[in-house]
Chain A
């Protein structure tokens, strides 16, 4: 009994500051991409939902720090140790970048707050390509090693890691050509200058609508939910998952994540977690997720940690195999 009371009291003391944290000045949303990038849209959507539903009293300032594939923003946040007013938006690049480049921050320099969504990856080919399913695609690649050109955004980043994973799973060999953004890779594919890309749904939707590119399969554990047809009577739901189409990769996705600098109070983390949780429950959030064909999935605390550990391990395996790992 006494023990329980003590515990309860301790809990109250511990909880007191948690209730007490409330931003007293403007919160800076540090966006680790340039204006118009995927992370930028993510952060600005969150911002607009927070202000529309008044989920937070303090005002919000958004700053873009997309230099060095987002390293600029993470270094900036890492430099503000213990500052609960720097909320940083990113993807899995937070823990990926330090593994592939000599960036001046460590993954541990930021505290995870939450992940709000998972962005999907698909294999796309040109709309006039003779290949109609992933099996034929892989067979074509095997017939002529290193002839198929995969375009993607950046180097040693999610896109190239996925291409390497596909190569490893199938034994086919590809050539990877890095572009500045997924948008550029989309246009190069539409123009027939490259053979395939692994863009997110949002980056290729416009070209698919016009039939300039077509999807082969999606790296989701299950199919997309039912939606309106996009092109030629086919919608997102009609795209087979890669596993069911014969490419043995069950799932490859990119989380949309939010971070605080290391050393902030647990209370501040809890505050933002709650705000973001509320954001993820609004209609506007569902609209954003549906429009960009992402999957809404709120993860925080241990869930998020477990996810990160798993993701990191998978990625590091690829990095090690390719010899990209920087220690």
Chain B
């Protein structure tokens, strides 16, 4: 076995985790289709017939991957992600999560503006006024294109309400 530095995940672990994940999805598919009937009636296959076997195949495929990863593994010693590389990934991923949460609370326009401002300021290292200007410009462009131009409404929050924009 290869010693990993602390804080890193081996590829083998991730292979197993992913295989378990897809197997779980397969089980869910089987259960869901079983509820809609999995037989073959005189009207041809029932609603759950195909999805059920699809679920079975997902489970089978996952099991093969699982066994291969656990016992006959070719990528031994490969690292999936270490802490050094995890940082930029999380640095990208977490703000995206925050962006969604903020957008749900305050609307997509405010969310977009804050997210772009934040990313440019703290990740891009731009000066605050450059970031703010860019954020406002992008948001305004979104508003013009979506709301005015194509009349597709984006999610709005309380701030738009105060400003009287619906």
Chain A interface (Cβ < 8 Å from any Cβ of B): 25-26, 28, 59, 61, 63
Interface residues of B: mostly helix, strand, loop or mixed? loop
Whether B4 sits at the interface, judged by CB under 8 Å, is no
Whether B97 sits at the interface, judged by CB under 8 Å, is no
Binary per-residue interface labels of chain B (133-166) against chain A in the complex, 1 for a CB within 8 Å, 0 otherwise: 0000000000000000001110000000000001
* Complex CA–CA separation, A26 to B165 (angstroms): 10
Could you list 10 A-B pairs, sorted by A, with CB under 8 Å? A25-B166, A26-B153, A26-B166, A28-B153, A59-B151, A61-B151, A61-B152, A61-B153, A63-B152, A63-B153
Chain B residue nearest to A146 (CB atoms) is: B42
Chain B interface (Cβ < 8 Å from any Cβ of A): 151-153, 166
Which A residues are CB-close (under 8 A) to B151? Answer: 59, 61
Chain B residue nearest to A24 (CB atoms) is: B166
Which B residues are CB-close (under 8 A) to A28? Answer: 153
* Complex CA–CA separation, A222 to B166 (angstroms): 47
Which B residues are CB-close (under 8 A) to A59? Answer: 151
Which B residues are CB-close (under 8 A) to A63? Answer: 152-153
Write the nearest CB–CB distance from A60 to chain B, whole angstroms. Answer: 9
The 10 A-B pairs at the shortest CB distance, nearest first, are namely A25-B166, A61-B151, A61-B153, A26-B166, A28-B153, A26-B153, A61-B152, A63-B152, A63-B153, A59-B151
Chain A residue nearest to B165 (CB atoms) is: A25
* Complex CA–CA separation, A5 to B152 (angstroms): 49
Additional A-B contacts beyond A28-B153, A59-B151 (8; CB < 8 A) = A25-B166, A26-B153, A26-B166, A61-B151, A61-B152, A61-B153, A63-B152, A63-B153
Chain A residue nearest to B47 (CB atoms) is: A155
Chain B residue nearest to A62 (CB atoms) is: B151
* Complex CA–CA separation, A282 to B164 (angstroms): 33
* Complex CA–CA separation, A59 to B166 (angstroms): 11
Write the nearest CB–CB distance from B110 to chain A, whole angstroms. Answer: 18
* Complex CA–CA separation, A59 to B151 (angstroms): 10
Write the nearest CB–CB distance from B92 to chain A, whole angstroms. Answer: 31
Write the nearest CB–CB distance from B49 to chain A, whole angstroms. Answer: 15
Chain B residue nearest to A28 (CB atoms) is: B153
Write the nearest CB–CB distance from A265 to chain B, whole angstroms. Answer: 18
* Complex CA–CA separation, A283 to B57 (angstroms): 59
Which A residues are CB-close (under 8 A) to B153? Answer: 26, 28, 61, 63
* Complex CA–CA separation, A63 to B152 (angstroms): 8
Which A residues are CB-close (under 8 A) to B166? Answer: 25-26
* Complex CA–CA separation, A280 to B166 (angstroms): 28
Which B residues are CB-close (under 8 A) to A61? Answer: 151-153
Looking at B151, B152, B153, B166, which has the most chain A CB atoms within 10 Å of its CB? Answer: B166
* Complex CA–CA separation, A59 to B147 (angstroms): 12
Chain B residue nearest to A27 (CB atoms) is: B166
Which B residues are CB-close (under 8 A) to A26? Answer: 153, 166
* Complex CA–CA separation, A61 to B153 (angstroms): 8
Chain A residue nearest to B161 (CB atoms) is: A25
Chain B residue nearest to A58 (CB atoms) is: B166
Write the nearest CB–CB distance from A103 to chain B, whole angstroms. Answer: 14
Write the nearest CB–CB distance from B159 to chain A, whole angstroms. Answer: 15
Write the nearest CB–CB distance from B41 to chain A, whole angstroms. Answer: 13
Which A residues are CB-close (under 8 A) to B152? Answer: 61, 63
Chain B residue nearest to A175 (CB atoms) is: B43
Chain A residue nearest to B166 (CB atoms) is: A25
* Complex CA–CA separation, A26 to B153 (angstroms): 10
Write the nearest CB–CB distance from B44 to chain A, whole angstroms. Answer: 10
* Complex CA–CA separation, A65 to B153 (angstroms): 14
* Complex CA–CA separation, A61 to B147 (angstroms): 10
* Complex CA–CA separation, A25 to B147 (angstroms): 13
* Complex CA–CA separation, A227 to B151 (angstroms): 38
* Complex CA–CA separation, A25 to B152 (angstroms): 14
* Complex CA–CA separation, A28 to B147 (angstroms): 13
Write the nearest CB–CB distance from B45 to chain A, whole angstroms. Answer: 14
* Complex CA–CA separation, A319 to B166 (angstroms): 43
Write the nearest CB–CB distance from B47 to chain A, whole angstroms. Answer: 10
Write the nearest CB–CB distance from A1 to chain B, whole angstroms. Answer: 47
* Complex CA–CA separation, A313 to B152 (angstroms): 39
* Complex CA–CA separation, A61 to B151 (angstroms): 6
Write the nearest CB–CB distance from B143 to chain A, whole angstroms. Answer: 14
